[in-house]
Every structure is written in structure tokens, then in C-alpha cells.
Amino acid sequence: MVRAKSWHGVLVANALPYHADLSVDFDRYAEHVAWLAASGLDGITPNGSLGEYQVLTPQERTRVVETAVAAAPAGFSVIPGVAAYGAREAAGWAEAAAKAGADAVMLLPPNSYRADERAVLDHYRAVAAVGLPIVAYNNPIDTKVDLVPALLARLFDEGLIVAVKEFTGDPRRAYEIAELAPGLDVLIGSDDSVLEFAVAGAKGWVSCFTNVFPRTCAELYRACMALELDPARELYRLLHPLLRWDARSEFVQAIKLSMDMAGRYGGPCRPPRLALTPEHEAAVRHATQQALDRGCT
């Protein structure tokens, strides 16, 4: 499948490995980036929620992007998250991403502030001035700011964004976005909606469980995009008990546990994230083992 743009295809929202003392293991992270690329994926989106960017120091957050760019082979996109409380900080992260050699950036609305439409437009204008293409990230579950299709159309019409990672899980939005903003690429933002959004015309998937099963997730994506519905549904049903964790508060812990079980280092999380409860751990282990027993890789 030929990619026309750096944000098309299967992009990995990567987990970040820590040493036992919870310092970032940059060597292991570089190896993970290279492994994802060798597994047939198209790019990586460092410093997202799965990468626990909220608990990184500025120095760590900068080095994460630099490490990803250095480890990425030619053609493997690096599209860092540049989320921040306000536009000045977000623009600073975008400048750092440009300096490191990133292909584009992914931008939430202002964090921890229920921005109105004026504030959202101002936020995206400030970051767009840096010059890198922006993939908007619509996650009203966490931000409490909904980038509704009409607002996305305004952002696109001003030339501020090139795509949107849609995390509402509502594939109906893809059709309205296509009506109001033809040319704005929709990326699948929640793992448990990949089939529905692919049918609706998505151009890519920002995926979390690709950290665990990159080849199988790529196979699922390609079957969905080709509308090969029988094999797509079979894989989707197998993986869905895991993919649903992407929309839960404990998704980082769940994905890291699955990584450990699959022979990839997931490891611990930084506070405030705690270990999974016994009930949740058992559910993740059961679903992961089912996938492993079926040959998922």
C-alpha cells in the first residue's frame, strides 16, 4: 500500500520503556522504534498519552523525539505529540520537533482548559506558524474540548491542519468531515474502531496495540482498508478484547503488560499510574494469551 503522505498508514502511538528506577531507557526505546519499522509499520507518534508525556521532564521529552528520529529508517515517519496547556509551550515543542527532523506534529487543543472556538483557533494558528504539518488530535474524552466537524473544517480551510486523529470512536463523523472539509484526512484514533473508520474512508491508523502485535495489526489494517471484510472481521473479533483497552484509563498498563507477555519489554509506568488490579490484569492476560495462541505477532 503506497503512502502519499507521511501521516498515512499505520502509525504507532508508542509506549516508553523505563529502567527499574523509572528513568527512561533510551537505548531500549531506540531498539523498539527500529523493530516497529522492521515489522512493516509506517511511522511513530512519540510523546503521546501512551508515551506518558505528561510525566516526562522537558529534557526527556526532547530526547524522546531525537531518539525516535535517529532510530527511524528512511520512509518511517516520526510525528511527535506537542500537546501542552497553552499555545506558547505547544509551539515550543513543535519547534523542537522541527529541529530534530520530525515529519509533522500531532496537536491536541489546549490541555486542562476548556477552550472555546476562538481559543482553539488561536492555539492551532500559533503552532502552525512553526511550519510543520499538523495532525489535529480530537480527544474530547480527556480534553473536554470537542473538535466537531464544523470546527475541523475551519481549521482546515485556514490551512492549519492536514489531518485529524479522531478518538471519539464515532465513525459517523468521518462522513460529516468529508462533507465539510473535503481533503482533510481522517486517521483512526481508537484501536477498537479500526474497521468502522476504514470503511468510512480513513487514511491511517494511530494505533496502540501495534506495540504488541505489529504484523498482525498491520494485516488487520490492510484488510480493513481493502474492504476484505471476511478476513478483517476474523482478526478484528480476535483482537477486539484487547483493542477495547485503548479507550480505558488503564490502557498504558494494559499495553505494557501485553508487550511483556509477547516478549517485548513493556515494564512499569510512572506515577500516577499504578499496577493493574488483579481483575484487570487477569482480563488482559487472558485476551493477550488468546491472541498469542492464535499466532498473532
Residues noted as catalytic: 137, 165
Contact 90, 115 (CB under 8 A): no
Select from 194, 163, 169, 166 the least CA-distant residue to 181: 163
Amino acid in position 163:
A
The whole-angstrom separation of Cα 177 and Cα 154 is 11
Neighbours of 59 (CB within 10 A): 9
Name the strand (E) or helix (H) holding 10.
Answer: strand 9-12
Instruction: Write the DSSP symbol of residue 210.
Output: G
The DSSP annotation for 34-56 comes to HHHHHTT--EE--SSTTTTGGGS
Phi/psi of residue 82, each to 5°? -125, 30
Contact 152, 109 (CB under 8 A): no
